Amino acid sequence: METRLRFIPLNFNWVALHPQPQGVVQVIGGAFFGTFPTIFYRYLLKQLFEQGYTIIAIPYRFTFRHWSVSVSLVRDQVDLRQMMVEEAKRRGYDYKIYQEKPTDPKGNYYWLGHSLGSKYIALLELLSELEFKGIQEILGECVGKDQENEIKRCLEGVDFQEISLKNQGTLLLAPAITGIESAIPFKPVANLVKRLGLDVNPTVDQTHCLILKSGLFNLFSLIAFANDDIAKDTVNWIKANLSNRLIQCIDLPGGHLAPLGWKNGDRELATTVIDCLATFKEKCDRISPEI
């Protein structure tokens, strides 16, 4: 049976269906590079595919309003899974795993984020508490009424279980929870825009506040890079505040763009990512979010 990596477009995502999948890895890259994930992250995705994972490469969506993107990411996955079942049947592939709920305790679904793509995953983790808490209780004093109203609009008609990351391991590569500077790299201009009252929602401080209040983030790991100045502040903050929740915290050589590669890439990183996913699988039955 053919096992060559081949991406097909399904429901605005790029999907590589494995003939006999042992898991599903949902990948969100950083700004610009993540817009073309099958090109810039191909080496890493190929290594995961060869280990038996079906890959969902989710194109990065640029916006200042990050809540709406996070909610839409998982809302898209509901229809996507049915499309994957139909496509797998057509090809004669095993499709049972796509009929499972991603929140199933088997732990067959994973999220992999790089750079700013990690923030979208972090916001999804926060919204996972909606199954147990109200929006106001989750947001607390961290964000203003405008963001609360935005989230309510995004969640109209949503089944909270559909946007839950429960039992789904999250692996963050060089996570960069940043503000407007991620979109405007020229610092004086970014500072001017901030003074005019414009920034991403939620801001860095708001995101940190939300994460510290959350009872989740109990099934996630971090991979950081020694020469990474872009993710340094976020990585240091995670190590200082969430070290007791991390499954693994791994430091590797290289810079912020270490996950990128087409034909050639960072072999040590790829092996480490594969090992982290295996660890999630081992831990998933024993670890559940404490709400």
For the ranges 32-41, 96-105, 193-202, which has the lowest average pLDDT? 193-202
- pTM value is 0.91
Domains and CATH numbers, the chain: 8-284 (3.40.50.1820)
Instruction: Judge whether 58 and 26 are in contact, CB under 8 Å.
Output: yes
Average pLDDT in the chain: 87
- What whole-number percentage of the chain has pLDDT above 90? 53
Position 18 pLDDT exceeds 80: yes
* Residue 258 identity (one-letter amino acid): A
Higher pLDDT, 159 or 35: 35
Higher pLDDT, 273 or 162: 273
The 10s digit of each residue's pLDDT in 176-214 is 998 766 655 556 666 666 666 666 788 889 999 989 888
pLDDT score at 157: 75
Strands 13-16 and 8-10: antiparallel
The 10s digit of each residue's pLDDT in 49-98 is 999 999 999 998 777 778 878 877 777 777 899 999 999 999 999 999 99
Position 289 pLDDT exceeds 50: no
**Alpha carbons 176 and 186: distance in angstroms, whole number:** 17
For the ranges 143-157, 243-257, 260-274, which has the lowest average pLDDT? 143-157
Burial class (CB in 10 A: 0-12, 13-18, 19+), 21: buried
255 Cβ contact partners less than 8 Å away, ≥ 6 residues apart = 225, 227, 228
Look up residue 83 and give its two tokens: 């499309």
Higher pLDDT, 122 or 180: 122
Q: How many CB atoms lie within 10 A of CB 135?
A: 15
